[in-house]
Structure 1
Amino acid sequence: MSAAHRDSEQKPQRLHTPQWVSLVSGGIAGAVEATITYPFEYSKTRVQLLDNSAIKTSNPLRLISQVAKQEGLGALYTGCSTLVIGTAAKAAVRFLSYDTIRNSLADDRGVLSPARGILAGMTAGAVESVLAVTPTERIKTALIDDAKGARQFKSSLHATKVLVQRHGITELYRGLVSTAMKQSATSAVRMGTYNVLKEALKSRGIKTNVVTTFGTGALAGVVTVYATQPFDTIKTRAQGVQGATIGEASRSVIRDYGIRGFWKGSSMRLGRLLLSGGIVFSVYEEVSAILSPSTHR
């Protein structure tokens, strides 16, 4: 047996997730997650926007209950279709970008270091913010903001047409910088934390299954909320119906709520990311295993 052949037998084989699998699995995971957790996203966005309605509470479950009673259950899904489509698209782009970068940065055993995991997540977040997140977040935020008052928008499509007619196509990219900052930070922390926890389980010989994956994803979601909430709050203010620059959005938060206002809506976002972190990673891993079982042995 030649030395080269012996080396090839001893060297561990790297298994790469095919790009099409990352794209499809990410899209399905994003759509499922967004549909289940949307009421938390609705309540978080409504609290972050200066609300002049009769409903005054920062408790996510109470706000959801009051909105359902006063405005109907359907109100909790205002802008939902936009977010579901956007979340499916951004999750597909995120996992495709992340897995592509991961494949190039991982070592011979397929292990990604914590620093490289954060770098891969940050890059994936920047890509998804440009390709998918900013336009859908702009429409979703404008719809929720509009629902508090005049209700000038009839649907996601109508809101898109009105905003483009009034201000041009660039209006859909209002808040791009704040969104890119938020998505890069969120993806870096979320994907980086998930990668660290996943590798820690592997090193201890703990087999991954739906339960461990859900728990790991949920914990990554908790860390993500408190580390990146200020970016999310600024982004929301920047993408209201009237729109605002990063500076104007930041000053308005301080004026209305003080420094603590940058963490406004964190309890709502925690409720969503706690669930979404577990759901999105669990669905992604399960769908990937079905589509490409050889890479999830």
Structure 2
Amino acid sequence: MASKRKEKPLHSLAAGAFAGAVEGFATYPTEFVKTRAQFAVSAGAKPPGPIQIVRETVAQYGVRGLYSGCSALVAGNALKAGVRFLSYDSIKLAVADKQTGQLSLPRSILAGFIAGLSEGLFAVTPSEAIKTRLIDDARRPKPERKYAGLLSGSAQILREEGIAGIYKGLGPTMMRQGANSAVRLTTYSSLKAIATKDGRKPGSVETFGMGAIAGIVTVYCTMPFDVLKTRMQSSASSQYTSTLNCLTTMLRDEGVRRFWKGTTPRLTRLVLSGGIVFTVYENTLALLDKGEAVAKETVQEVKKES
């Protein structure tokens, strides 16, 4: 996979963080619906459909109810996307063929997997643990809720449970993110390599389409990791002694199909998020590169005049 531009890690960090924030806010209601559906299953209730969850939430709490826990996800999304693209582009620089600048398929998968492990450790686990708690808490009547919001809720979790409280489900989260990034980034990079093999630059619509396809592939390949993560981060996680125990218990009591519960809302989210994040990322990179070039030209002109 030939790199069409020289990778600039700081630009990757900034563009990734911005793209992650935009994507997180735009697609959050689908994440809310997916998490609610998984909570219902873990509580032993008949799983409600996505439309039913939306209707009940809006009827009870208004449209704002679909954004319960949103601030945690948006902040975490910005951080995780920044870490993901920074890690991936940095690893690409290190492992790409020195002569051709190409990244082989195995190396691309490895770079994506390591990038996913990094974002899982430094960004995703804490932010999604808090987000999951906030969504779980929002199901209760207002007088019975434990958390008033992102900052106070985070502080309360840390105060009552320590760092371990926001690192519940670390194992499945890191594996999910590693698999997510390996599949998503490799799929997108492969599609982009095909689209740019004649030297042309894909437009935003084409970039959105490639990102959406990468999202579809990612959902079906990694959904079981997402279900395990949600179970291990919910308030009912105490019934499981470990991630492996959660896995075996679910297989025994609920069957293999439960590992794909919540696929529809997650599919919707990752199709949209894949399209949004790669489109915003590529356009932001282009703006940063252009801004850097203009700044260098300005500095050179000033030096000439002086």
* Fold shared per TM-score above 0.5: yes
Residue 122 (structure 1) aligned to one of 113, 119, 133: 113
| Partner in structure 2 of residue 275 of structure 1 | 272
Matches within 5 A, 1:102-141: 102-107=92-97, 108-141=99-132
- 8 Å contact from structure 1 (residues 146, 153) kept in 2: yes
Matches within 5 A, 1:129-278: 129-149=120-140, 150-203=144-197, 207-243=201-237, 244=240, 245-254=242-251, 257-278=254-275
The Cα shift of 1:221 comes to: 0.1
Matched residues in 2 for 1:91 and 1:100: separation? 14
Aligned length: 284
Matched residues in 2 for 1:236 and 1:174: separation? 10
- 8 Å contact from structure 2 (residues 212, 274) kept in 1: yes
In structure 1, the gaps of 5 or more residues are: 1-11
Matched residues in 1 for 2:157 and 2:40: separation? 21
Q: Which moved more, 1:63-72 or 1:248-257?
A: 248-257
What TM-score results when the alignment is normalised by the length of structure 2? Answer: 0.86
Residue 38 (structure 1) aligned to one of 28, 37, 42: 28
Answer yes or no: is 1:21 the counterpart of 2:11.
Answer: yes
- 8 Å contact from structure 2 (residues 36, 53) kept in 1: no
Q: Which moved more, 1:202-211 or 1:113-122?
A: 202-211
**Cα RMSD, aligned residues only:** 2.4
Q: Which moved more, 1:107-116 or 1:35-44?
A: 107-116
Matched residues in 2 for 1:44 and 1:161: separation? 25
Q: Say if 1:129 and 1:56 are closer, same or farther in 2 by CA, change over 3 A.
A: closer
Q: Say if 1:215 and 1:118 are closer, same or farther in 2 by CA, change over 3 A.
A: same
| Partner in structure 2 of residue 7 of structure 1 | none
Answer yes or no: is 1:291 the counterpart of 2:288.
Answer: yes
- 8 Å contact from structure 2 (residues 125, 168) kept in 1: yes
- 8 Å contact from structure 1 (residues 141, 236) kept in 2: yes
- 8 Å contact from structure 2 (residues 87, 115) kept in 1: yes
Q: Once the two structures are superposed, what CA deviation does each residue of 1:120-149 show, in whole Å capped at 9, x if it has no partner?
A: 100000011111111101000111112223
The Cα shift of 1:102 comes to: 1.0
Answer yes or no: is 1:89 the counterpart of 2:86.
Answer: no
- 8 Å contact from structure 2 (residues 40, 48) kept in 1: no
Q: Once the two structures are superposed, what CA deviation does each residue of 1:139-194 show, in whole Å capped at 9, x if it has no partner?
A: 00111112223421111222222222222222111111111011001111000111
- 8 Å contact from structure 1 (residues 114, 195) kept in 2: no
In structure 2, the gaps of 5 or more residues are: 293-306
- 8 Å contact from structure 1 (residues 14, 109) kept in 2: no
The Cα shift of 1:200 comes to: 1.5
Matched residues in 1 for 2:82 and 2:207: separation? 19
Matches within 5 A, 1:48-63: 48-50=38-40, 57-58=48-49, 60-63=50-53
Q: Once the two structures are superposed, what CA deviation does each residue of 1:55-82 show, in whole Å capped at 9, x if it has no partner?
A: 9523x34422332123321111010000
Q: Secondary structure at the match of 1:154?
A: coil
Sequence identity of aligned pairs in percent? 46
Q: Secondary structure at the match of 1:203?
A: coil
- 8 Å contact from structure 2 (residues 125, 173) kept in 1: yes
Q: Which moved more, 1:15-24 or 1:84-93?
A: 15-24
Residue 91 (structure 2) aligned to one of 93, 101, 113: 101
Q: Secondary structure at the match of 1:48?
A: helix
